[in-house]
Structure 1
Amino acid sequence: MTHLSLRLRILLFFVLMALGGMAIVALALVAGYRSALTDGVSSGFTLAAVIAGFGLLGLATAVWFLFDENVAKPIEKLAATLRVRAHAGVATPLDTHAARYLGDLAPAADAVTTQLDTTTLDAAELVAIETEALSDEKNRLTALLSEIPLAIVLIGPGHRIVLYDGQAATALVQIAPPRLNASIFEYFDKATVLAAHDELVKTDRETAFEATSAKGEVSFAARLKPLGAARGYMMLIDEAHSHLAPDAARPLTYDFDLLTASGPSDLMQLPMDRVPFVVFDSETTGLLPHIDEIIQLGAVRVLRGEIVPGEEINRFVNPGRPIPPASTKVHHITDDMVADAPPLQAVATEFNHFARDAVIVAHNAPFDMAFLHRRSKDFDLSWKHPILDTVLLSAVLFGTTENHTLDALCARLAVTIPDHLRHTALGDAQATAEVLCRMVPMLKSRGFDTLQKVIEQCQKHGRLLEDLN
């Protein structure tokens, strides 16, 4: 019966168009006939044509509006909700009221996705059990490595970092922010490392050398150690250089898939789930990028669709000028909080290194990037990274008529921003990154599976950012 009801509604739609068209034509003929009696046949035909033309145009507009509001938009919204539930793993309720004229479509879709959710939960339970076992193994490995008085960096066959422990992080950060999949040559002199690596390959034995930073300002006593049949090698750094307290936590940061993956090639052709992202946000003295200054910058890294724990930037910036009280009311950052902070050049340089070989992502990216571009020549920094904007990604996935604020996106994708982190650079960057991670599989399901395809779709909605800014 519901099926018949939907078909009957569509039939009535066309009947309305037919009857409306007939009524308009009849009205035009009557008016034209009356005009012909008084002003001549030519005038009558003209009047009839004008009335019929504008009447049919008005009817088409009215019918389109009804169809758009009651069929097209509900279908678009229903499809977006189903993609959220299927690919982002969020149990968003279907808006059955908006889809009330679609017959049994919404209830049927709800039944299917509910069944899929149940099946997914069952599978998730099994995964959780295995994950817990793996977590125990990781904790045991972490505890074991914590007893080793060395900083450890595992390096893949392409000389890219696959794992580092807390001690290594404190050593690497003296040169630049530590990053998975970063080339080891970004931290240490390439010629020196390659010479030690050649010796390692030749002898298949541990090789000691002096690891000097690329610019020569920092030096470590280090060793390269072979991994036997495994690919890659291990770098061990003397603990004396790591500046980590003996009883401090020494977490591991790793992605063993990087042992078999090649380094970044053409980012534009990479599948979206393999693209490295750096998601950032900034707080400023005001809303005018050509006048105002950054006072806080936060960033996190996303690899293989997941936020990398521990790889983040959270810096206050001294703007060299007072922060307006109106701005402080929004982000709660005061002059005292930034008084001892570094200038923008130091923080921008750190962020530039942090974002190397990655796609930069932000919510309303043109606003935040404008502050960095304005000082790029002064700081001798290049911002040639591909840019993605979650405002535009939202438009691609949910349509231009939806709300695309960060709060709206978080609500739609079940991302929670703790109140104390809202309107902080790191808090908003973390929320934007979580939103991005939920969007990537949704984009892939729409056929936008490479960075190039996603950027092409975003460019179709560029007007949104123009209106926003």
Structure 2
Amino acid sequence: MTRLSLRLRVFLFFAALALGGSALIGAALWLGLARAQASTPENGFAFAGIVAVLGLLALCAGIWLLFDENVARPIERIAAEMRARAHAGVDRRVDTHAARYLGDLAPAAEAVSAQLGASTLATAQRVAVETERLAAETARLTALLTEIPVAMMMVGPGGQIVLYDGQAAEVLAQIHVPRLNAPLSDYFDPEAVAQAVRRMHRSGREVALVLASVDGRQSYAARMRPLDGGGYLLTVDGAEAQIAPEAERPLVYDFDLLTAPAPAALEDTPLSRLVHVVFDTETTGLLPHKDEVVQIAAVRVVNGRIVPGEVLDLLVDPGMPIPPAATRVHRVTDAMVRGRPDIAEAGRRFHGFARGAVIVAHNAPFDMAFLRRHQARMGVVWDNPILDTVLLSAVLFGAGQPHTLDALCDRLGVTLPPALRHTALGDARATAEVLVRMLPMLEARGITTFGQVLEETRRHGRILADQN
């Protein structure tokens, strides 16, 4: 069969349908005639009609199953693999064996992909040289800023954090986890900041101010300097005294945030402009109505890239013994969670980390059920928009494919070390890597806004219902 042309194989499908249908109708008429001779003509005709209809339905179902298994699904798989290679940078061969009955389609797709890969590799080598040079310059700049005894932040025209250095990260971390694109008012008294901004705009010069944290526990002497094109540079004096000498001090920035357009309605916002917080939980069991969370971890994705250093990783005291079967999966023990925050405190921290962002998870209804059950204790409302990578996988690769996290990582070339599998941070990081690869694939298919993604994922809601 593999040597036959695709057109001949498609012809055989229809030939089997025609011949099989003719044979079924002939057999039904013969049986109907026998029935009519034994009873009445009416009974014979009715019996023949019933046998013919049921037989044709069975024949069509069988032919459809063969067509679906050997034509439709392989074509869908080849298309998804080519999308992954073209738009997500996945370097893997097209599965020609799965499409062995599609004639020359799979080898042709593999040839196109190989040629694309060769061209991409040549371009990537040139880009890598320039990237290495820029990385070296960034490292030198970071080292220079580390020696300056001030914390520095760049704030965009809309009041969002566009850049922060290592010292600033330490200052922000005393209030909450540092977050790129987060409003400065999430960390410091918004009224004091607003007054300083007004004074700076009136004078056009640098102004001094006292930054009080939103919780009122810290205050810092600071200076605010206007920037060309809007926004300002904020420096906190004497920050070096509060930073551990061995602490990492990266420079985190995204200058695209300076020129980002004003936020549109969520449904009309491009996927690449959304801030995503990708999270995962580990629990004492699989029943959200009675089991408890033992670990929450999350990473942030801004402008389609994972932001280094912006990580939340919390062990949670579940208030109950962790079953040995659960510990064997996620390796979290009773001793590890003893004295850790309970779900109310951990949930509040995660809620602050995810403020203003789209929450993303793999099988999100499961993880969100634990959080929503305790939201009254947390004193928060979980009203963030939510995306589920299971449903995004169904949109991109078809409902008939496996949609486990392991299958997605394999399909998209994401390496998930076995030691990190079934840890909250490891799975959150892997899900974020998967999301970053799927976003350009969605956009390439014309699914560019959050509203369009929701519309597409709703068609596959049954997948999550079956999983849960």
Q: Say yes or no: TM over 0.5.
A: yes
1:20 and 2:20 are equivalent in the alignment: yes
Q: Cα distance 1:42–1:290, how it changes in 2: closer, same or farther (>3 A)?
A: closer
Mapped to 2, the partners of 1:288 and 1:6 lie a distance apart of 49
1:169 CA drift (Å): 1.0
Match of 1:363 in 2: 362
1:154/1:162 contact within 8 Å kept: yes
Match of 1:285 in 2: 284
Q: Please, what TM-score do these two structures have when normalized by structure 1? A: 0.96
Match of 1:202 in 2: 202
Q: Cα distance 1:48–1:247, how it changes in 2: closer, same or farther (>3 A)?
A: closer
1:155 CA drift (Å): 0.5
Query: 1:93-104, aligned counterparts within 5 Å?
Result: 93-104=93-104
2:220/2:237 contact within 8 Å kept: yes
* Structure 1 residues 74-100: Cα deviation after superposition (integer angstroms, max 9, x where no partner): 111111111111111112322212211
Letter paired with 2:94: L
Match of 1:74 in 2: 74
State the secondary structure of the residue aligned to 2:145: helix
Match of 1:186 in 2: 186
1:140 and 2:140 are equivalent in the alignment: yes
1:154 and 2:141 are equivalent in the alignment: no
1:421 and 2:394 are equivalent in the alignment: no
Q: Cα distance 1:248–1:87, how it changes in 2: closer, same or farther (>3 A)?
A: same
Query: 1:25-424, aligned counterparts within 5 Å?
Result: 25-227=25-227, 229-240=228-239, 243-246=242-245, 248-262=247-261, 264-424=263-423
1:248 CA drift (Å): 4.0
Letter paired with 1:266: A
State the secondary structure of the residue aligned to 2:5: helix
Q: Cα distance 1:281–1:22, how it changes in 2: closer, same or farther (>3 A)?
A: same
1:162/1:255 contact within 8 Å kept: yes
State the secondary structure of the residue aligned to 2:118: helix
Mapped to 1, the partners of 2:370 and 2:437 lie a distance apart of 28
Higher deviation after alignment, 363-372 or 234-243: 234-243
1:40 CA drift (Å): 2.8
Mapped to 2, the partners of 1:335 and 1:247 lie a distance apart of 30
Query: 1:442-457, aligned counterparts within 5 Å?
Result: 442-457=441-456
Where structure 1 has 5 or more consecutive residues not aligned to the other structure, the ranges are: none
Mapped to 1, the partners of 2:247 and 2:299 lie a distance apart of 23
* Structure 1 residues 235-261: Cα deviation after superposition (integer angstroms, max 9, x where no partner): 111224761134643210110111111
Mapped to 1, the partners of 2:133 and 2:229 lie a distance apart of 23
2:149/2:240 contact within 8 Å kept: no
2:281/2:296 contact within 8 Å kept: yes
Letter paired with 2:189: D
State the secondary structure of the residue aligned to 1:261: coil
State the secondary structure of the residue aligned to 1:430: helix
1:321 CA drift (Å): 2.3
Mapped to 2, the partners of 1:10 and 1:365 lie a distance apart of 41
Letter paired with 2:270: P
1:222/1:238 contact within 8 Å kept: yes
1:264 CA drift (Å): 4.1
Identical columns (%): 56
1:272 CA drift (Å): 1.1
Please tell me the root mean square deviation across aligned C-alpha atoms, in Å. Answer: 1.7
Mapped to 1, the partners of 2:457 and 2:45 lie a distance apart of 49
1:34 CA drift (Å): 2.5
Paired positions, count: 467
2:151/2:239 contact within 8 Å kept: no
Mapped to 2, the partners of 1:50 and 1:121 lie a distance apart of 62
* Structure 1 residues 22-43: Cα deviation after superposition (integer angstroms, max 9, x where no partner): 2112212222223333323222
Q: Cα distance 1:179–1:262, how it changes in 2: closer, same or farther (>3 A)?
A: farther
Q: Please, what TM-score do these two structures have when normalized by structure 2? A: 0.96
1:296/1:317 contact within 8 Å kept: yes
